[in-house]
A and B are shown apart, each in its own frame.
Chain A
Amino acid sequence: MADQNDLITVFVDDKEVAVPKGTNMIEAAFQAGVEIPHYCYHPKLSVVGNCRMCLVELGMPMRDRATGEPVLDEGGQQKIGWMPRPAIACATNAAPGLRIRTNTQVVKDCRNGVMEFLLINHPLDCPICDQAGECGLQEFAIDHGRGYSRFVENKVVKPKRTVLGPRVTLDDERCILCSRCIRFSKEIANDDVLGFVDRGSYSTLTCHPGKKLENNYSLNTVDICPVGALTSTDFRFKMRVWFLKETRSVCTESSVGANTLVGSREGKIYRITPRRNDAVNDTWMTDSGRVLYKQVDSDDRLHGASIKGEPVETETALNRAVEILRGGQAAIVGSGQASVEEQALLKKLAEAVKAVSVNLVAHLGEEDGLLLSADRTPNIRGALVTGLIESLPAEKLDGLAEAIDAGKVTTVLTHREDLRAAGLTDAQLGKISVIYLGTLANDTTRKATVVIPTLTVFEKAGSFVNQQFRLQTFEPAVPGPSAALNDAAALAKITSLLTDGDIPSQPTAVWKELAGTVPVLEGIAFNKIPADGLALDGSAWAGLSFPEKKSLHFEAAQEAATTA
């Protein structure tokens, strides 16, 4: 962060604003409360200045060429040398005393002219365009357009449905050639596949010969497309965006914890888009993270509680679970997919049943250096912070398998983890009673004694701690299946029944206790966690060999990296 002393003063429409030297003037104007319309400029990409929408009048304090002395007017004020032509704000960096004017007739004419040019060969097919409602052309046409067309010629005809890759479809007629997608592919995704062919107004976006836009970040090009040219093949023609309710969420794909917005209408999710967080994911997210909502309506979704495969009331299942837990030696298997609150409640449950062991399962994968980390769960660090576990989990439950074989464990309560996938055999599962709380059917649920359906991340509130020890919250976007219990509520209920107590499960209540008992969480209230997260002190766990090496805004500490 810039020191207060490093700030310089610039003037936007005669309004003073203090910004760090070199700040882009579009950003500086934004700080001064002035919107400068733009298409090609994107805060996270290089500046090309091709849309010409951000033209402003630009002036610098005058200095004598020979002496370097300031030139003063009669009033003793330094004269301003206004440039004879409008300049683009996006390529102008803040310098001391720099002035821009955004409300003069020249600037209005410029915007009006550029808007007209952008629209003459645009198909104006807003009624069937997915971008309608969040389209830069629509917004600025209202603000700066002339409202009627002087164009009587034939429009340029271009391909309407070019398949650029498995997830992106291009409508070339709508393209305004801003080149954001080209720059994103090159600069952020490191996959230089997009380019223009042909010249002038006939310029057409396309993939380089023999290449496809198929990297795991391809859908970001759809997000940053200021118009409806690049469309998500998944979302295309499914829903008008103005009907979508946007809910803050966090991507559960890996420990990066990309900030997201979940778009839903009437209880159904239609898309997930990234939410800007300059400390975590900038304005990007993976393609693979965008399809995670499909688990909500998955064929494997658990819609009702069952005991030994027979459907029962949830209440009955809970009571049966408590009976089983009371009657044997129980082990607990928690999950890195669970929220901080659920992990805290699971810890209580483990204490209540005097669990033989508490295990987590590691889910590892390859890192891509951007927004997909080696740890494919969002909240292993949450389990460390709440004290559910003290060391990093392994991928297989070998210790638990041994304990079952030795007869030391007769009951396993597993929260979201498929025990079969974690290395237990059918024979081992046959020896014990399994209580499963989770959302999807799997080999474990088919063998389990008690199955209690719970909620996905899109259906509940909570928090995760990502690889940077950044505490981030998510909110419910849609309601879950009617018979499903909130994970936290289910865990609290079981513990309450076990202890004859009344354990609250609301995040705010859980946090009241966490803030009082866990040192690094001291003083944190759930409702006060900022939307872009809160950095926790992770130094207590610096000695652990976390699997993550490098992401967009994360680099493993040197020591940890060498011991890993």
Chain B
Amino acid sequence: MPVQERRIILKHVDQPDYTTDLDCYLRHGGYEVLRKALQSKPEELCQEVMKSGLRGRGGAGFSSGMKWNFLDRKSGKPIYLICNADESEPGTFKDRQIIHKDPHQLIEGIMVSCFAIQAKQAYIYIRGEFPLGARLLEKALDEARAKNFVGDNILGSGYSCDIVVHRGAGAYICGEETGLIESLEGKRPYPRIKPPFFPAVLGLYQCPTAVNNVETLCNVKHVIDMGGEAFSKIGKPNNTGTRILSVSGHVMKPGYYEFECGAITMGQLIDEVCGGLRPGRELKAIIPGGSSMKVLKAGERYKGKTKDGKEFEWGIRDIPLDFDSMLTAGSMAGSGGIIVMDDSTDMVEALANVNAFYAHESCGQCTPCREGSLWMNKISSRMSHGQARREDADLLESVAGQIAGRTICAFGEACAWPTQSFVDKFRDEFLAKADKSATPEATEPKRAAVPLI
């Protein structure tokens, strides 16, 4: 049986007659869930989200119900909700589809979530590179406000909440939730130290704040629509709902696809959904969840036991696409951005590319990431410019090891994991680079490699 997409979030997206207008959204049953939610008790809505097992779609895959549970409701301070639309992880382009093609669904998701956590104000922090998305959202918000789906006394319920679209200035670090909060407060987006600055307690303006990804908030709408129980039956236990996968790289049909969690394997995605690799090419590696996740190498075998005790042995094509399976394969499902590389890829060059990105985007607040990311970039860039040394592979690994786990935010891991996994799994290529550099034609005097940034 050919694999079938199951579109929940992207249900109407790409249908020929579907537009971003409010009228169109209403024709397709829009804002009915909000209407329904406003008649429920907020705590019950939170309970439904908890029951649904919904996990955050931003990258870490943390339980959304738990996240809301942590909100400090006793402080008496206003609660804020922030929609994290700073989708900057290389290889990820799912939120953009939602914002560009179905902005009202996001707005409804936000309003349902706001009511559930009784937020006083909501913000959509959208990355600066999405000017069209920001304009679309603002237009959609105007329409929604005019119909009283957003604003004061929403649909006569007595509940008031507005949404502000805030455009970032184009920094990857603003996707880190505390960095985002700092940026929203008008400061440099330096991530905060945790403890004590957990957003659920000391978030925006030192008030309890929920920061959720675009796709997560859209999912909330569907959780409330179908009920937590029903939602939890989609996908696999602990990996509920659907995921939008952004596939890029060396496949015939790159793009975004929505599947039930765990319903298909990596092989099915590449070969059946994405039309396979380019003719005559072999699979070499896959980055499974946005560029910061550890790379998977073709030919690797993944053995182990799943949580329910089943033993398994997978090849790279056998890995089911869900949170837990990817974790057992030693990487993470991350943001769902899958980057496929075939045998034409030079892994050293690929790593140099990734490292250039992280060196450019490190905020510079804490030492290991600030200095380490640039250093790794300089090394890998030099290697790909024909000046590799045999000791560089070990050096790269060692530098990455000095970053991961020792920084203020998860950027440390994000920039260290690619290097660690690339060098670990493709060490022979890194060493071969050095050997090639040592040949007479390669050792002719060259300018020192200039970093790309």
Contact = CB atoms under 8 A, between A and B. Distances in A.
Contacts of A48: 193, 365
A150 B373 CA distance: 15
A102 interface: no
Main secondary structure of the interface of A (DSSP, over half): loop
B195 interface: yes
Contacts of B195: 91
A108 to B, nearest CB: 12
A121 interface: yes
Contacts of A85: 405-406
B196 A91 contact: yes
Interface stretch (B250-258, B276-284, B374-382): B374-382
A203 B364 CA distance: 6
Contacts of B403: 113
Interface stretch (A151-159, A388-396, A441-449, A461-469): A151-159
B328 interface: no
A562 to B, nearest CB: 36
B407 interface: yes
A116 interface: yes
Given A156-B374, A196-B188, A200-B363, A52 B196 contact: no
Contact of A153 (B196, B370, B372, B379): B379
A200 B193 contact: no
B368 A114 contact: yes
A153 B375 contact: yes
A153 B363 CA distance: 21
B325 interface: no
Interface string B352-363: 000000011111
Contact of A50 (B171, B361, B366, B374): B366
A270 B356 CA distance: 47
Interface in A167-196: 176-177, 195-196
B402 interface: yes
A244 interface: no
B374 A201 contact: yes
Interface in B386-406: 395, 398, 401-403, 405-406
B327 interface: no
A117 interface: yes
A202 B364 contact: yes
B345 interface: no
A49 interface: yes
B193 A88 contact: yes
A52 B363 contact: no
A509 to B, nearest CB: 56
Contacts of B190: 50
A52 B375 contact: no
Nearest to A177: B364
B193 A121 contact: no
A61 interface: no
A145 to B, nearest CB: 13
B26 interface: no
Given A120-B375, A156-B374, A200 B360 contact: yes
A203 B362 CA distance: 10
Interface in A262-309: none
A91 B375 contact: no
Contacts of B367: 50-53, 114, 117-118, 176-177
A150 to B, nearest CB: 6
Interface string A80-93: 00000110100100
Q: Which of A109, A156, A202 has the most CB of B within 10 A?
A: A202
Contact of A49 (B359, B366, B378, B449): B366
B371 interface: yes
B448 A201 contact: no
Contact of B364 (A55, A88, A195, A196): A196
A120 B371 contact: yes
B350 interface: no
The range of chain B's interface size is 35 or more
B120 to A, nearest CB: 27
Nearest to A118: B367
A200 B370 contact: yes
B193 A52 contact: no
A199 interface: yes
B375 A200 contact: no
Nearest to B372: A117
Contacts of A118: 367, 371
B438 to A, nearest CB: 16
A177 B382 contact: no
A110 interface: yes
A52 B369 CA distance: 10
B408 interface: yes
A34 interface: no
Given A199-B361, A200-B361, A153 B402 contact: no
Contacts of A196: 188, 364
Contacts of B407: 52
B371 A117 contact: yes
Given A86-B405, A86-B406, A153-B382, A201 B362 contact: yes
A117 B374 CA distance: 10
A521 interface: no
A47 interface: yes
Contacts of B365: 48, 50, 177
Contacts of B449: 153
A343 to B, nearest CB: 51
Nearest to A39: B367
Q: Which of A48, A50, A117, A196 has the most CB of B within 10 A?
A: A117
B193 A91 contact: yes
Contacts of A47: 193
A495 to B, nearest CB: 63
Contacts of B371: 117-118, 120-121, 201
Contacts of A154: 378, 448
Contacts of B395: 150
B402 A177 contact: no
Contacts of B368: 52, 113-114, 117
Contacts of B379: 153
B408 A50 contact: yes
Contacts of B405: 85-86
A156 B405 CA distance: 25
Nearest to A178: B367
Nearest to A116: B402
Contacts of A153: 375, 378-379, 382, 448-449
A200 B373 contact: yes
Contacts of B366: 49-52
A202 B364 CA distance: 8
Given A153-B375, A196-B364, A52 B448 contact: no
B193 A203 contact: no
Q: Which of B188, B190, B378, B398 has the most CB of A within 10 A?
A: B378
Interface in B214-265: none
Contacts of A86: 405-406
Contacts of B375: 117, 120, 151, 153
A195 B190 CA distance: 12
A86 B408 CA distance: 11
22 contacts: A48-B193, A48-B365, A113-B401, A113-B406, A114-B402, A114-B406, A117-B367, A117-B368, A118-B367, A121-B371, A151-B375, A153-B378, A153-B382, A156-B374, A177-B367, A199-B171, A199-B361, A200-B362, A200-B363, A201-B359, A201-B371, A201-B373
Given A52-B366, A198-B364, 12 more contacts: A49-B193, A52-B367, A53-B367, A110-B406, A113-B403, A114-B406, A153-B379, A153-B382, A177-B370, A199-B360, A199-B362, A201-B364
The 8 closest A-B pairs by CB, nearest first: A113-B402, A117-B371, A203-B364, A153-B378, A200-B362, A201-B374, A49-B193, A200-B364
Interface of A: 47-53, 55, 85-86, 88, 91, 109-110, 113-114, 116-118, 120-121, 150-151, 153-154, 156, 176-177, 195-196, 198-203
Interface of B: 171, 188, 190, 193, 195-196, 359-368, 370-375, 378-379, 382, 395, 398, 401-403, 405-408, 448-449
